[in-house]
Each structure stands twice: as structure tokens, then as C-alpha cells.
Structure 1
Amino acid sequence: MVEIERKYLVTNCDFITESNENFRIVQGYLNSNPERTVRVRIKGDKGFLTIKGLGNESGMTRFEWEKEISITEAEALLQLCEHGVIDKTRHHVFYENHLFEVDVFYGENEGLIVAEIELKSENETFFKPNWLGNEVTSDERYYNSFLSNHPFKSWK
């Protein structure tokens, strides 16, 4: 129930040709407090309820609990969510034995592309593809829960 991940900005769209699969994600937050976010997500044809805890000092490690729920339940819960739904396409890119999840955002977050990699430990090494830019792991502005309340388009 612990998630260890690093997050990066994406500098170009070269990842698309390396993408093995992609799917649409729509998600909202029942609670966007960083200490305990509660997320409702529709990912492709499945629904999920996820609870995440506050990250450690590096921002890489935090508690995560997720349960699959029906699409009907997810759609109903999305109606109860805070203002600001996240809409994105997630691309799976396998690179040098690691999976990068690259999110291309739409709507009020259009123009933002972020890649995440889940690791077994904070010290695990991995190779970075040429389309990976600056690391933003510890920058809470790039958390989806923050983006739902403070969209990327409003930053400029």
C-alpha cells in the first residue's frame, strides 16, 4: 500500500511513437486535502476509488489504497466531487525495463504533459528517455489534486 514514484515534465511528443497502449482517464476528488486525497476515477471501462496519504519529504513515497468499483458507482461519485475534473489520456511507454505513464491533459490543464515512473525503492536507478524533462516530484503543483483546483491554464 505504498507508492514510490517520480514525476517529470515531458519536453516533446516523441513518446507517442513508443507508446504501447493508451486510454482516457476522467477523475475528480471527493477530498483534495494533500494529507488524505480521495479520488474517483474512470479509466477506460473501469471505475476506481483511491485514497492517497501525504508524501514524505522527497515527495516520492506515500500511502496509496485503491479499489475497483463499477462504472455506475464511479459516475455517481463523480457528481459529488469538488469542482475541477481532470481529463487526460494516459500513455504507457516501456523504456529500458521500466514503465513510464505519460499523461496528456485536456480542458483547463491542456498544454501540460507529465510522466511518472513507479519504483521499487527511492534509490532505484533507471534510464531516462530523451523526451523526459525536469523532475517535478516534490512540486505539489503537478499533483492531479492540485491541478483540479488550480488548473495549468491559470498559471500563465
Structure 2
Amino acid sequence: MMIEIERKFLVKSSDFKTGSYQQTRIIQGFLNTDPERTVRVRINGKHAFITIKGISSKNGLSRFEWEKEIPVVEAEVLLDLCEPGKIEKVRYLVKNDNHTFEVDEFFGKNLGLIIAEIELNKEDEIFVKPSWLGEEVTGDVRYYNSQLSKDPYINWKKDLE
């Protein structure tokens, strides 16, 4: 059992790419998108995982997460069972001071959306914000991958302008 503490931000420029030390293509789907227990299947490069996430805390910073690596061939079969709306993205790992940001550049119906996440050891942990980091969207359910699979960015991005 693990409690995940993370903060999410929009990304305002592609400058993060110059600091990236790893890029991985990710395809994921959801067997269950109930906010109290999402069940995700993900192929992350040459690895695959099944992940269960619990409901977020009131401030959106933390929630239960359980993950297990599974064979890619099994993940491919499970992806066919997933709810409609698979997520396609490239994840960039960007070291910044003492932390690593995971920056997801989305494709398909979420094209144009770039989100950076940082995992923390405690909710009030201090970290250095790089210049390309934009508005914080921690706790905004529109930016949860499970929600983006059902209501993709293309449907509501014009409302933000």
C-alpha cells in the first residue's frame, strides 16, 4: 500500500524538452473510472502495469495507489477490454534541482495538452519551479487521465481561452 502525493501543473512552453533525460511513449486505458477506485492498464515503453488508485484527498494532493507490473502481451489484451477513450502520450522525465518532473505531452483527442507532475514526500514539501511550469491544476478532475479518457481536452479547451 502506498499513498501518492503529487502536484500537477500546466506547461506553458516546450523548454522542458531540452532538460529531458528520458522519453517514453505511453498508451493507457481504464477498466474502471469510478472516482473512488480507478483501474488503469498502461503500456509504458517495453513495460506494462495495472494500477488501482483510490479517491483523492479533499485538497487533491494525495491518494492510495497500488501498482503491479504485468507482461506487455497481457496489457494489450486488457486494453481491448477498457472503457472507450484510450490515452496516448509521451512522458518526459526532467530533473530539476532535487526533484524529477514527469511531463506528459498528450496526443489524439488530448492534443495540445501538456501536464507536469511532481511527486513529493510530504504535502508541504518545498520544490523549485522551473520557468516552463504554468498554472497549478492539482485537484482539478478535468486533468485526471481517467477523466481525459471520457471527456478529452478537445471538447473543452476552447472554454479555457
Q: TM-score range by the shorter chain?
A: over 0.9
Within-5 A mapping of 1:7-156: 7-155=8-156, 156=158
Secondary structure at the counterpart of residue 149 of structure 2 = helix
Consecutive unaligned residues of structure 1, counting only runs of 5 or more, are none
Report the alpha carbon displacement of residue 98 of structure 1 after superposing the two structures with TM. Answer: 0.2
How many angstroms apart in 2 are the aligned matches of 1:34 and 1:23?
Answer: 26
CA deviations 1:48-83 (Å, max 9, x no partner) are 000000000110100000000000100000000000
How many angstroms apart in 1 are the aligned matches of 2:11 and 2:54?
Answer: 25
How many angstroms apart in 1 are the aligned matches of 2:122 and 2:60?
Answer: 13
Secondary structure at the counterpart of residue 88 of structure 1 = strand
Report the alpha carbon displacement of residue 116 of structure 1 after superposing the two structures with TM. Answer: 0.1
TM-score (norm. length: structure 1): 0.99
Q: Which runs of 4+ in 1 moved over 3 A?
A: none
TM-score (norm. length: structure 2): 0.96
Identity over aligned pairs, percent: 60
How many angstroms apart in 2 are the aligned matches of 1:90 and 1:32?
Answer: 22
Secondary structure at the counterpart of residue 14 of structure 1 = helix
Secondary structure at the counterpart of residue 18 of structure 2 = helix
Report the alpha carbon displacement of residue 28 of structure 1 after superposing the two structures with TM. Answer: 0.1
Higher helix fraction: Structure 1 or Structure 2?
2
Secondary structure at the counterpart of residue 122 of structure 1 = coil
Report the alpha carbon displacement of residue 138 of structure 1 after superposing the two structures with TM. Answer: 1.2
CA deviations 1:70-111 (Å, max 9, x no partner) are 001000000000000000000000001100000000000000
Secondary structure at the counterpart of residue 14 of structure 2 = coil
Q: Which amino acid in the other structure matches residue 25 of structure 1?
A: I
Secondary structure at the counterpart of residue 104 of structure 1 = strand
Q: How many residues align?
A: 156
How many angstroms apart in 2 are the aligned matches of 1:127 and 1:146?
Answer: 28
